[in-house]
Amino acid sequence: MTTGHPQPGRLHQVSSLRSGRDWARWLRQAHRVPVAGRSQRHGGQFPAWAWDTLVHLARRQGFAVEREDCGEGEAVTTWRDRRIRVRPDATPGQAMTALAHQIGHVLLHSEIARLEAGGIVPCQGTRRVEADSVAYLVATYLGIDAGAIAFPHVSSWAGIDPRAHPVATIQAVSDRVLAAASAITTHLDAELHAKRETTAQALAAGTGAGQPARPEPVPYRELVHVHKSAARFFRGGLPRSWVPGYLAGRGLGPAVQQHWQAGYAPAGWDSLTRHLRTLSYPSAERPSMPLRVSRST
């Protein structure tokens, strides 16, 4: 892999990393997450919404997530049909860790997948270290015991020959891992914050134990207009996306796409809301505006 010059402030830290435990400890310190299995953020439980949020994040990257047999591993990603398969018999903690591992591959190794004839990124060497590291940080954030993830000796993937600049390699890998893990935990944080806000608003409105207040109805004409604007927004993003080629490859050509008004939802949690704001729809963020779909669907 191509590496740049390591940041001077962190050079002495990464240069001292030797064992897999050193690497795991460095990741926790650099990402500033709780120790595995002792997360106070989630009370040590596996939050049900976390799986839905990870699935939603995978979908934003264009990948469907399914609980299916995937051979010997816990999960596998195939770029040809853009699917992530997670073993159906995996425990909740194992399933979320495995899904985070695959999302790490999606975020970090999509370019490599396009070059592989089988459309699958071989999970070995530095690529495995990176995906395992992302999964380790996400699992630690969620309070899942990540002890099953064992990292190899750092020199086994960074090398020891000074001419290959092993310290620069360690720095580059850590930067990539931290960026991917932060992208995932930021989405998890946003979902957690939204759920807390909903609960607080419901309690403040005097509706009882976490029950949301009855929303104010939206005028029918406004509903029609906002849905038409949303449809135009999604259809407008289709030509510049990967979707037309993907659908055509599955036998759904331009005529079929036009007939069924296929569209593309760009990455981002609030892309549609921000678009509707630019059109001055006052009710775009009302709870009663039925444009948002549950992440469990």
- Output the pTM of the full model: 0.65
Token pair belonging to 206:
């005097």
Neighbouring CB atoms inside 10 A of 274's CB total: 11
Spell out where 14-107 has E strands: 64-67, 75-78, 83-86
- pLDDT by residue for the chain (297 residues), tens only, comes to 433 344 444 544 778 889 999 999 999 888 875 543 344 444 445 667 889 999 999 998 989 999 999 888 899 998 888 899 999 999 999 999 999 999 999 999 988 867 666 667 789 999 999 999 999 999 999 888 888 899 999 999 999 998 989 999 999 999 999 999 999 998 888 887 777 776 666 666 665 555 555 556 667 777 788 888 888 888 888 888 888 888 888 888 889 988 888 998 877 667 788 787 787 765 555 544 555 444 433
Q: Which own/partner contact pairs does 148-155 have at CB distance under 8 Å and 24+ positions apart?
A: 148/94, 148/97, 149/24, 149/97, 150/20, 151/20, 151/21, 151/23, 151/24, 152/20, 153/18, 153/19, 153/20, 154/17, 154/18, 154/19, 154/20, 154/22, 154/23, 155/18
